[in-house]
């Protein structure tokens, strides 16, 4: 478990053999290190906040979005997702823009509004931020590993982008 805290991009966290409780402890330690206890968690000098829920910031909701996937859209039931969880430590690496080659960073209008995407083409990993112009911050919506047709969707979104600059 503690070995996961020294993993770097693009290695995967070693969590597949852990029991649910140990896995959550390991992932939570990385989440706390990179997000909760990181006073300089920013994208291009703008602070990043978890998405608010009912008027308050919910770090637990963000942790859930970064480690689970929706399996039932009617009930909004979520289940653990190995692909998202194994890459949890990639989030900070990409937000800090340490990778320069093979990255698409753009804003585009989506059905939910304007979104900023940080897309690692080689690793098929995307981070979705919601820019807030009035307070000069971002909400971190989610981050996940793209599989199947999702790769084409993000590339098509990039081709159709209409915004000249990032929000």
- Residue 167's pLDDT is what? 53
- Split at pLDDT 50, 70, 90, the class of 50 is confident
58 vs 162, more confident: 58
pLDDT for 141 beyond 60: yes
93 burial type by CB count under 10 A (0-12 exposed, 13-18 middle, 19+ buried):
middle
Average pLDDT over residues 159-165: 70
The pTM is what? 0.90
Q: Identify whether 143 is preceded by a cis peptide bond (ω within 30 of 0).
A: no
């Amino acid at each position: 478990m503690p070995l996961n805290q020294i993993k770097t991009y693009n290695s995967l966290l070693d969590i597949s053999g852990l029991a649910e409780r140990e896995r959550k402890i390991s992932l939570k330690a990385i989440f706390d290190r990179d997000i909760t206890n990181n006073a300089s968690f920013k994208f291009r000098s703008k602070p990043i906040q978890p998405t608010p829920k009912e008027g308050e910031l919910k770090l637990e909701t963000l942790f859930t979005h970064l480690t689970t996937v929706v399996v039932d859209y009617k009930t909004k039931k979520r289940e653990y997702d190995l692909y998202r969880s194994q890459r949890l430590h990639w989030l900070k690496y990409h937000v800090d823009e340490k990778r320069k080659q093979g990255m698409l960073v753009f804003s585009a209008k989506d059905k939910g509004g304007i979104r900023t995407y940080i897309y690692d083409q080689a690793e098929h990993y995307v981070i979705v931020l919601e820019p807030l112009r009035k307070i000069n911050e971002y909400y971190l919506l989610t981050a996940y590993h793209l599989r199947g047709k999702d790769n084409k969707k993000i590339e098509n979104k990039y081709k159709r982008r209409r915004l000249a600059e990032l929000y």
